[in-house]
Amino acid sequence: MKLATCAQIREAETRAIDAGVSAYTLMETAASGIADAIIQQTDARNEEIFCIAYIGKGNNAGDALSVLRRLMAHGWNVHIRAAYSAEDMEGLCQLQWEKFHDAEASTLTTELDVTAEPTLLRRKLADIPRMPIVILDGLLGSGVDGPLKPAIAELVQEINELRRTCSNATVWAIDIPTGVHPDTGEIGENAVQADYTAAIGCIKPGLIADTATSHVGRLVPVPLNDLDIQPEYSDEVIDSPMLSRLLVRRPYELYKNKAGRVAVIAGSIGMLGAAQLCTEAALRAGVGLVVLYCLPETYPLLAARVSPEIMVKQVQTYKNIDEDDAQALLIGPGLGQLDNANQLALHALVSCFDGTVVLDADGINLAAERSWRFEKNHILTPHPGEMRRLLPSAGMNTPRKELVNSFLYNHDATLVLKGARTIIGQRRQGMLYNSTGGPSMAKGGQGDVLAGICAGLAAQGMMPRDAAALAVYLCGRASELAVSRGCSGHERALTAGDTLRHLGAAMQSTADLCY
């Protein structure tokens, strides 16, 4: 999904309305997408769900009320906390309030809590049986102007307090977390801490600012096709509509020698698992053949350990690798320190390799130490520490986008700067920001899986930037599915192996255009 400022989205809205689309239709389309996204992402498991909408008085509140009406129709228990009384609501918000009331006539759980003390709400929450709570932040959206007024600021605090104290509460910000500046990402004195932010029609640039990451949480792009946004940025947030074109159906006659081959140099004593994870990840990315090259000291250990589908070849030194058939070469996961001869051999191998080279972990450390030049067919997947080794002169607080730009100034490669909201950069191309994943992935082994998938996709013919974008998105999505489908149950319990085992489900969810 493209990036656009609040002013640009307002212009697009005016153009749409001039072309005959009503503001009400835009709101209903947005709300329908957001409600679908919430239902898709909420781990229902046949439980009842309690939803509280926090509303202001503008169109952002109108969106929240329209979403709430849909969730109520879906059988959820709903409740509203409003900053203002119904008479103060603006046009479309008031209309949505009336529609909500009409729809709600046959149910009994809703009230407009304008004056109620927060303690009443807490008592009410204590009374209801333990069930998942979804909190909607519909306080303020792109119409925000200046510091939050007290009526809004108080409810922001209440949302954050509920999130902090109720382990079963999930906060969904509608369009923007209230208190985060939509265009700059500056965080106000009070700002909602969201688990998900459903971005409507475009991504406001503030949502991908480093400062805003922990307030925005998982970005959920909700398309609004009636808006013809003309962005001045070429940067984009990766979403399933962007990637589904890459997951094409395979020809029936495909066989292993035509499905790509990856050569891997990974693993050392103490880090054998990295080789196991990255080779299996390449296989699961759909590649036909994976060959792992090992030095004599690791050969017997790795040969006994990696998946049976992997070919394991022993070489006395990396100079002896003669690999003409592979379309991708992956170097680095758990590789450890090499002697000088093997370092030189790897440089020579990379320099003459025509396919895609994926460098990760110790592969990056080696390249940084030896000041390798990176070319168009190279993908590097550094975490922030490895990035600092690639750019030793960069300041500690340099924004991540600037780090990527500094690197691309000197190198023609595709750079994947890992972290919350992984960034993918390539010269003369807009930056790509990932939307999937989360803190569940903060664990060893995830990078090995990512590197293996990158190499596996590239070996199947994907361009480096496409392979990197799809790999990053799939790893995040697979991790989310592993947590929500109960394989790891709680975000803390996820392992890289769980991510790997959910790769197929993530591919299907991406092809199905899930949020």
Q: Are 131 and 167 in contact (CB under 8 A)?
A: no
Binder of ligand NAX out of 5, 8, 42, 60 (CB under 6 A):
60
Closest approach, Cβ 21 to ligand NAX, in A, equals 9
Q: Which is nearer to ligand NAX, 139 or 277 (CB)?
A: 139
Which of K ion, ligand NAX, none interacts with 26 (beta carbon under 5 to 8 A by kind)?
A: ligand NAX
| Residues 6+ positions from 187 with CB-CB distance below 8 Å | 179, 180, 181, 211, 212, 215
Phi, psi of 219 (to 5 degrees): -80, 130
145 binding ligand NAX? (CB under 6 A): yes
| Residues 6+ positions from 252 with CB-CB distance below 8 Å | none
Phi, psi of 217 (to 5 degrees): 65, -145
| DSSP-derived secondary structure for 196-234 | EEEEESSB-GGGGSGGGHHHH-EEEEE--TT-----S--
Binder of ligand NAX out of 11, 44, 74, 90 (CB under 6 A):
90
222 binding ligand NAX? (CB under 6 A): no
Strand partners, 180: 187
3 binding ligand NAX? (CB under 6 A): no
Q: Which is nearer to ligand NAX, 55 or 263 (CB)?
A: 55
Binder of ligand NAX out of 78, 134, 220, 227 (CB under 6 A):
227
Q: Which is nearer to K ion, 138 or 334 (CB)?
A: 138
Q: Are 452 and 260 in contact (CB under 8 A)?
A: no
What separation, in Å, do the N-terminal and C-terminal C-alpha atoms of the chain show? 12
313 known member of a binding site = no
Closest approach, Cβ 176 to K ion, in A, equals 5
Q: Which is nearer to ligand NAX, 30 or 306 (CB)?
A: 30
**Piece in contact with ligand NAX (CB under 6 A), picked from 55-63, 233-241, 283-291, 400-408:** 55-63
Q: Which is nearer to ligand NAX, 90 or 104 (CB)?
A: 90
Which of ligand NAX, K ion, none interacts with 137 (beta carbon under 5 to 8 A by kind)?
A: K ion
30 binding ligand NAX? (CB under 6 A): yes
> Which among 295, 389, 306, 297 is positioned nearest to 345, based on CA atoms?
295
178 known member of a binding site = yes
- Tracing tokens 């590197």 back to the chain, one arrives at 451
Can you list the positions of beta strands (E) in 175-327? 196-200, 218-222, 236-237, 261-265, 289-294, 311-314
Please tell me the number of Cα atoms within 13 Å of 466 on its side-chain side: 13
Farthest CA pair distance, the chain: 81
> Where do contacts with K ion occur on this chain (CB under 5 A)?
137, 173-174, 178
Residues making up the chain, counted from first to last: 515
448 binding ligand NAX? (CB under 6 A): no
Phi, psi of 50 (to 5 degrees): -110, 125
448 known member of a binding site = yes
59 binding ligand NAX? (CB under 6 A): yes
Q: Are 206 and 184 in contact (CB under 8 A)?
A: yes
Q: Applying CB under 6 A, what is the total number of residues that bind ligand NAX?
A: 29
Q: Which is nearer to ligand NAX, 148 or 312 (CB)?
A: 148
197 binding ligand NAX? (CB under 6 A): no
Q: Which is nearer to K ion, 137 or 195 (CB)?
A: 137
Strand partners, 264: 292, 330
Which of ligand NAX, K ion, none interacts with 27 (beta carbon under 5 to 8 A by kind)?
A: ligand NAX
Closest approach, Cβ 1 to ligand NAX, in A, equals 14
190 binding ligand NAX? (CB under 6 A): no
174 binding ligand NAX? (CB under 6 A): yes
Please tell me the number of Cα atoms within 13 Å of 70 on its side-chain side: 20
Which of K ion, ligand NAX, none interacts with 145 (beta carbon under 5 to 8 A by kind)?
A: ligand NAX
Q: Which is nearer to ligand NAX, 3 or 494 (CB)?
A: 3
Containing H/E element for 38?
helix 23-41
142 binding ligand NAX? (CB under 6 A): yes
145 known member of a binding site = yes
Going 143 to 146 to 152 to 157, the CA torsion angle's sign is: positive
Closest approach, Cβ 65 to K ion, in A, equals 13
137 known member of a binding site = yes
Residue with the shortest CB distance to K ion: 137
129 binding ligand NAX? (CB under 6 A): no
Binder of ligand NAX out of 175, 195, 448, 466 (CB under 6 A):
175
Tokens describing residue 62: 């109108």
In terms of DSSP bridges, do strands 414-417 and 423-426 run parallel, antiparallel, or are they unpaired? antiparallel
In terms of DSSP bridges, do strands 423-426 and 432-433 run parallel, antiparallel, or are they unpaired? antiparallel
The binding site for K(+) comprises 60, 137, 178
Catalog residues that contact ligand NAX under the rule CB under 6 A: 9, 13, 26-27, 30, 56-63, 90, 140-149, 152, 174-175, 200, 227
